[in-house]
Structure 1
């Protein structure tokens, strides 16, 4: 059963992995074309970090990915298991270097500026910059939860689609749903705790970003937690707001009377746009709370023995399929828009980092990429939908096939005849 599920989900992984690699290529071109001044300023620091990612992670993934996808019938079980683990390890190492580079742009450390360029003076300080450890943990957990809820939602869809079929037909989908929800039950509370710690780090290192997240204009104690607001950047106030008194200070500082910085603490030209940061953060948090709610609901249904039969739960799980992707995207919107107007916080403005290109040139390349990736992701999504519609291979067929089609591990083992006559 587990091997059968692996063979099904690895196809989904392979398509997603391929789409991810293709989409990542664009960034390499953009650094040299659209962001040449940024590349010139940060190249001595970020160039080696990206190179480390290629050498230590991408090569590791590429080397073992082929064995993982195509080697089950060609290598031993242990080597195939190790290959799968190496691909997983490669993705974690890749995330390590990418988050280190991005975190350095958020909280730059371990460098000096010489002749208008950043030069590393302490590589450990560059790599393990102040915001990196908590942001790395937050991002990796976010990816894990994205996968868990995607698998749970797809599995729920397969169960709902085959409600009139015998239980054996959806046994694999039930097992996938069960594992995904156990994972969500464990990781969602941890992610909420890590997210709270991340907020404390933002308060310490990027107070203006935090002020934008909370649409807080004046430095104040006893700050309310704003559930909804309409920020007005011109008037430097909120035209309308709904909040819970003092709870904002407690969440952000762990003190009901804690002082929270305001946007008016810095000049107007150093403030990020407030409304996209304010709303994207709340959408991310709302999705996180929905994940927690669905996880706790699954525990209750599991105890009652109705996890796979409760139609409302299965429908909600199916609707939550894209929730992890949404939470990750809105989290990145908060992080990247919130550090504006800087691309390297406090040192290089985004306006000073762009290449000297005409608007028409940038627009033409953007449109070309949009068309190309619409086609690529369109076909990728179509193929994923076909895979999911088909579902895992029926268990009886997988068992019947077994190892009958297993390829030889050694070339000579394919020879059935004896090479030398047996002596009496």
Structure 2
């Protein structure tokens, strides 16, 4: 038997109270905890099952774009809780396009469409998207042409790599000329060596109001505006993994044809036809510039020449001229012989080309009422003539008669020819 004194009743009761509190309080906290939205909980559980670092011996899979079912507010809250990677985020190497002029023209317009439709008319966002496209081209997991990267999965109704290529955006909205020009300038800088450093070697991105299934398997490396940028975890996200080179043969993307001449099927053939027709007309003396302006042509388009060949036709007419204007009509009866043009002549003009190196302007425009397939930023704006109203002539005030000296002004006098003093 122990010689230690037994605890008194009061101490025993206190011990029971402490033990009861330790078990009841956590239960109350759990019971009264704020409810977690079901969709958020389910999404989080799904994401926790995805993350893994792909070993360098295994090529990482490229999943189609598919989103977790969350409201925008839930997605923003979730994305805010995902920390940025603390690993180094080195900039990518400069990319310089190597290939034919035809391939480069197609690649440039594919990249311009990608940055504009994905990031909107925002310079930083467009540069970030351009860098992701070029990063993908260099990575073994993606196609090896610019157009191939941008339009990967376009044949799917959903699940393409860049959403605008399969959600109908290209048929619902055509870029304004100013926005398209800026996007092409940003694309041109990217394919000529300009690097957007903040996104490093990112190969994925999404807006902060959605959560794709692939997100948890990648490292979050940057934010640009409302877009979050990611790279693969492990070796596949390091600079040595980006060791591939582009291949020749940028594909024609028919969806870009309305506003991208390099992507119109048969462009080469129509260019040759347009140039040949212009050369023949000039050699035969049937086409000549205006006598009053040797840098301006008012011409009738050759019969049978497709709209895609008009630009080559105009360029051949202009030849080596630094300044050149070509205005063309479909009907010879409607083709004017001199300038200025009447309003009806402006309305029926089918095509125009203007080149002015002093201002850096070179513009090719089609009458899209006559050629609906050429819709987009290359459409002529309808000419409207405003007739200014002629102001009514203001009457010149007549000076009041000055009364003779000695007479009272405002007094009515009898007329000499009026008897009895009546007027």
Shorter-normalised TM range? under 0.3
Q: TM-score, normalised by structure 2?
A: 0.20
Q: TM-score, normalised by structure 1?
A: 0.20
For CA contacts below 8 A with separation 6 or more, give which structure has more relative contact order.
Answer: 1
Is the radius of gyration larger for structure 1 or structure 2?
A: 2
Higher helix share: 1
